[in-house]
């Protein structure tokens, strides 16, 4: 009986999240997602305990800003969204392109928690992995905790060599520690709505065929100022 109840709860939880994720999202909501990612990045950079050093930004070939929501009772489901921008050969940063971001873990968890993460990608190959649909960060691409401004100033910490440098608000994770942060996957449907276009992730990131709408310009300009 207990096994049946547990399986029923898991099925209902999975069905709820599947329905929520598949629901159509309005353009104002998608604009809010981009704006929230900009706010997350600004908050990270305003605090030396979480700020990304200029020496890391100099190596950046892409940046991913993730906003996830963790909730559950018997099952901890972490789903959310992200934006990715890539640095083009001319030194300009791309449009922010929306991604899906998530992770599921079985366990006894009560309550809910926002999980905010910034990832600096230091090569050109890793963002292109999204062309195939989904990337498991820390599995498909090596990911380590990146050094923060406070650590660099205090310890003269060397820049860690890894394709993905991950920044979060958790304490006790030292720079260079291997991390797994779940998955990122392309979300062409949301980008069709946000940009009023039929172009998908590859064209939005690497071409100039779509002009940035005014709502995404502040994030583009802020990233450009961090990594000109």
pLDDT digits (tens, 9 = 90+) for 121-132: 999 999 999 999
Task: Classify residue 127: in a domain, yes or no.
Answer: yes
- Mean of the pLDDT values across residues 170-192? 73
pLDDT score at 79:
74
pLDDT score at 127:
96
Task: Report the alpha-carbon distance of residue 199 to residue 78 in Å, rounded.
Answer: 28
Q: In the 8-state DSSP scheme, what is residue 212? A: P
- Mean of the pLDDT values across residues 4-11? 40
pLDDT bucket at 54, cuts 50 / 70 / 90: very high
Task: Classify residue 204: in a domain, yes or no.
Answer: yes
pLDDT digits (tens, 9 = 90+) for 155-170: 445 556 789 999 988 6
Q: Are strands 143-145 and 164-167 parallel, antiparallel or unpaired?
A: parallel
- Mean of the pLDDT values across residues 189-212? 97
Main-chain phi, psi angles of 75, to 5 degrees: -130, 130
Task: Classify residue 49: in a domain, yes or no.
Answer: yes
pLDDT score at 137:
87
With residue 62 as reference, give the H or E element that holds it. Answer: strand 62-71
Q: Domain total for the chain?
A: 1
Task: Classify residue 15: in a domain, yes or no.
Answer: no
Which residue in the block uniquely carries the two structure tokens 């065929």? 209
Task: Classify residue 17: in a domain, yes or no.
Answer: no
- Mean of the pLDDT values across residues 17-38? 80
pLDDT score at 168:
87
Whole-model pTM: value is: 0.81
Among 143, 151, 153, residue whose Cα is nearest residue 174: 151
Range of the domain at 99: 25-226
Task: Classify residue 7: in a domain, yes or no.
Answer: no
Task: Classify residue 210: in a domain, yes or no.
Answer: yes
Task: Report the alpha-carbon distance of residue 96 to residue 198 in Å, rounded.
Answer: 16
Q: In the 8-state DSSP scheme, what is residue 160? A: P
Q: Give, to the nearest 10 degrees, the angle between helix 27-46 and helix 188-195.
A: 100
pLDDT bucket at 174, cuts 50 / 70 / 90: very low
Residue 96 has pLDDT above 50, yes or no: yes
């Amino acid at each position: 009986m207990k096994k049946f109840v547990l399986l029923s709860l898991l099925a209902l939880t999975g069905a709820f999240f599947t329905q929520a994720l598949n629901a159509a999202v309005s353009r104002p909501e998608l604009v809010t997602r981009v704006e929230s990612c900009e706010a997350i990045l600004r908050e990270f950079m305003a605090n030396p305990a979480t700020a990304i050093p200029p020496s890391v930004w100099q190596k950046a070939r892409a940046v991913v800003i993730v906003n996830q929501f963790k909730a559950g009772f018997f099952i901890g489901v972490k789903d959310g969204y992200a934006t990715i921008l890539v640095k083009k050969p001319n030194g300009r940063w791309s449009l922010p392109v929306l991604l899906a971001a998530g992770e599921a873990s079985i366990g006894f968890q009560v309550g809910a928690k926002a999980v905010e993460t910034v990832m600096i990608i230091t090569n050109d190959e890793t963002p292109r992995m999204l062309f195939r649909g989904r990337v498991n960060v820390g599995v498909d691409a090596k990911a380590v905790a990146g050094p923060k401004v406070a650590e660099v100033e205090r310890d003269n910490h060397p820049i860690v060599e890894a394709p993905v440098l991950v920044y979060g608000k958790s304490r006790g994770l030292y720079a260079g520690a291997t991390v797994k942060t779940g998955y990122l996957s392309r979300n062409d449907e949301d980008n069709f709505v946000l940009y009023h276009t039929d172009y998908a992730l590859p064209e939005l990131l690497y071409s100039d065929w779509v002009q940035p709408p005014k709502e995404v310009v502040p994030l583009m300009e802020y990233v450009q100022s961090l990594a000109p």
